[in-house]
Amino acid sequence: MQTHRLAHLLSGTPPLSFPAQTSETAETADAAGGAVRHAAWSGQVRAVVERLARVPAPAPLTSVSLGTSVSDGLHREQLELDSPVRGRFRATLLRPADAAPGPAVLVLGGKNARLEQLTGQTPPDHADRNVAEHLARAGFTTLAFAYGLHGGFDPEALDGRDEGALLAHAFALRGHSLLGALAGDALGALDVLRAHPLVDADRVGLFGHSLGGAVALHTALLARRTVPLCVASHLGTYAALFTRLLTGFEGAALPGILEYADLPDLFGALAPAPLQLQYGTADRFLDADDARTAAGTVERAYAASGAEQRLEVLELPMGHGTEVSRAAAFFTRVLTAPAAPPEAAPDTVPDTLPVTAPVPAQRVSFDAEARRTVCERVDAALVSGVLTQGPQVARFEELSRAWTGTPGAAVNSGTGALEIALRILDVAGRTVLVPVNTFFATAAAAERAGARARFVDLELDGLGMAPDGLRAALDRYPDTAAVVPVHIGGIVSPALHEVLALCRDRGIPVLEDAAHAFGSTLDGHPAGSLGQFGAFSFFPTKVATSAEGGLLTCADPDDLERVRLWRDHGRSAPGSTLHDRPGGNWRMSEVHAAVGTVDLERFGAILTARRALAARYDELLAGVPGQRPHVVPAGSESNFYKYLLYLDDGVDRASLKRRLRERHGVALAGEVYDHLLCDQPFFAASRAAGDGTEHDFPRARWFARHHIALPLYPSLTEGEQLRVAAALRSELR
């Protein structure tokens, strides 16, 4: 009965399986579109592998040399690698005795391979077992390490059971996998190998046989840079390996992977990395027809990516082994060419860099552990049946306070936060003053609250509301009910002090639009804590996100209680069925709060990363002609929601953005903002009617015409920053 159930579980097509080629798709396929679709599919597959593998956050392995020797023309170095997760394990590094710095290969043997056999220290039990020695004699530095699958348990207690299988089951008890643990070790070993003084860090490959093939495959999928890969005797479909052939090993597959993708899909997701697959027609652990079908899937995936020339599939007359000479030839071909320039490169910016993957304007990134935590919190909400205004929302509010310095109520959006505050301030029928250079929602919230939005010019030092412009507007509009300064680009302008003083003297409340400024400060005071209210956005593009969401902070406990009532349809009291104000559905859901709490728990690291990236841009852009960065004024500590540059007069911004995108693969972030509110169609009609919005706003217009915003997000690499700076130098010189 259970075997029937198992067969049923393993049947069917996983949702991420690479689609079979048909004559219709072959006729309509185009190379560029196929590459884009493959990249999106590959990203989905890699994300699933990352989540299921549960490899701990990368921590460098320490390496201690236990001694070296030279014999038969090879230099052998015995190492002890120390992992903060795994502990200590043995490794051996081999290289030709007279080798100069050059390419290297991390060698991952099969389940029964011993380190001494892989490296030729003891005679191998199979002629091709000593792969590391063979590759070293072919001119490569090699590193192999002990898996630790043998000798960890009492042999008498084992009573003949397979130690590796028991380890795999033990890992599963905590939701982890043996394969994920081995891939984590291999990722650390790759770093050790790249750091060796006789290794060119940009020319390192992976070899894996049998179980080692599974480890190598998953290591390559998890690696942050492309790794050439040779895999022997590990090809087929999981259904054939685990049910029909009964040769699958628990440690060679990720638990749950077949819910998403099959083994050939994982290989196909490696494209465009160079890949050689070897399988034997006499391999008793594989089925030749099944392996051949799997190879066809890999070939289609590589063809779709445009990298078919980087794939080599070898069907060989061998058993469960390796054709070492073919592996050596593969690595010679893909690793001995001149190395490309390193990604995280020099302090000087070259004129151009080769275009590889595009640098997007924005990249929202939740790693596997963060995604898992979000899923667990959403699951807890679904189990409880409390899907809004529950414990996740309360936790979100608690975590936010560490960065706002003021209590707040979570709401559905930053726009909702603005409107609630303006309704509490009873602005209907009167004027609300907002900067002319801000997002439409700032003014639209005032209009929806029944007020007339009128505009004030900005000051160019901190990009805040100009005090002189505010003074004139207050005189022009004596019915002003509220003033809404905006912290553009994450900068809380020192001019805010004068804005607050002007409003205080006239008894006018201040609502800070801090949608850009979560985590920013002015003279040590958090954004959102200086006015009567502070409105924040947690839209995906912001420095912290809940997917959709907002927060309204207020120091007065009575105001905070009013916010909670307004956001819940204007109830007269919590839980009441009576309503005494025209509130709305401005609540944040538990699902959005689950995302937000995870992001807020890591926000300290996010903020540190953004500031470090901004400092790196400062260095890279020094001397690049045609531009100057905006300097954050003294006293203001920005979260660098935007990294802003001013273009010299005569530089066509639209043309520059197009050239950066088309020639260099660099997309700029959106401006803040390129259209003034007075020019938006909704407000332009009022202006034409002659209602007093005719002020020209010269500083805001200059800013709107001259600035650009560079890509800046925590997952931006130094190499990507270098490409951005090089692209600007190329186009602006």
- List, as one string, the DSSP characters of 186-236: HHHHHHHHHHSTTEEEEEEEEEEETHHHHHHHHHHHH-SS---EEEES--S
What is the structure's pLDDT at 22?
A: 43
The Cβ of residue 609 has, within 10 Å, a number of other Cβ atoms equal to: 17
CATH 3.90.1150.10 in the chain, residue ranges: 604-732
| Distance, CA of 212 to chain centre | 28
Give which of 379, 365, 413 is closest to 591, Cα–Cα. Answer: 379
Distances from the Cα of 598 to the Cα of 48, 118, 409, 482, angstroms? 19, 44, 18, 34
* Per-residue model confidence (pLDDT) at position 65: 87
End-to-end CA distance of the chain: 73
Q: Which two tokens stand for residue 653?
A: 């911004």
Give CA separation, 560 vs 408, 410, 417, 421, 555, in Å: 7, 11, 12, 10, 8
Tens-place pLDDT, residues 655-670? 999 999 999 999 999 9
Asked if 54 and 373 touch (Cβ cutoff 8 Å), the reply is: no
Q: Which architecture, in CATH terms, is 2-15+23-335?
A: 3-Layer(aba) Sandwich (3.40)
Rg (CA), the chain: 30
Distances, alpha carbon 565 to alpha carbons 393, 423, 592, in Å: 15, 12, 20
Residue 543 CA to residue 274 CA, distance in Å, equals 36
Name the pTM for this structure.
0.83
Whole-number pLDDT of residue 6: 66
- Indicate the angle between helix axes 590-601 and 368-384, nearest 10 degrees: 150
- Continuous H helices in 207-363: 211-222, 238-239, 263-268, 288-305, 324-335
Q: Dihedral of CA 219/222/223/229: which sign?
A: positive
For residue 482, the surrounding DSSP H or E stretch is strand 480-483
Compute the CA torsion angle 137, 141, 143, 144 (nearest 10 deg). Answer: -10
The pLDDT, as a whole number, for residue 429 is 97
Segments in the chain below pLDDT 70: 1, 4-6, 20-32, 57-59, 337-356, 686-695
User: Could you give the CA distance from residue 458 to residue 470 in angstroms, rounded to a whole number?
Assistant: 9
| Tokens describing residue 33 | 């579109």
Contacts of 325 (CB under 8 A, 6+ apart): none
Top CATH class of 369-600 equals: alpha beta
Q: Locate CATH 3.40.640.10 in the chain.
A: 369-600
Structure confidence at residue 176 (pLDDT): 87
For residues 216 and 226, give the distance between their C-alpha atoms in angstroms, rounded to a whole number.
13
246 in Cβ contact with 165 (< 8 Å): no
Average pLDDT of the chain is 90
Which tokens sit at 485? Answer: 């300064």
Q: Which two tokens stand for residue 29?
A: 């396929």
C-alpha dist (Å) from residue 77 to 119, 197, 392, 500 = 11, 13, 53, 68
If 0-12 CB within 10 Å is exposed, 13-18 middle and 19+ buried, where does residue 380 land? middle
Question: Which H or E run includes 155?
Answer: helix 155-158
Q: Contact 249/211 with Cβ under 8 angstroms? A: yes
Position 120, amino acid: G
Every domain range in the chain assigned CATH 3.40.50.1820: 2-15+23-335
Q: How far apart are CA 251 and CA 166, in angstroms?
A: 10
pLDDT in the model for residue 24: 41
604-732 folds as: Aspartate Aminotransferase, domain 1 (3.90.1150)
Q: State the pLDDT at residue 340.
A: 45
Whether a cis peptide bond, with omega within 30° of 0, leads into 673 is yes
Contact of 334 with 205, CB cutoff 8 Å: yes
Asked whether 724 and 696 are in contact (CB, 8 A), the reply is no
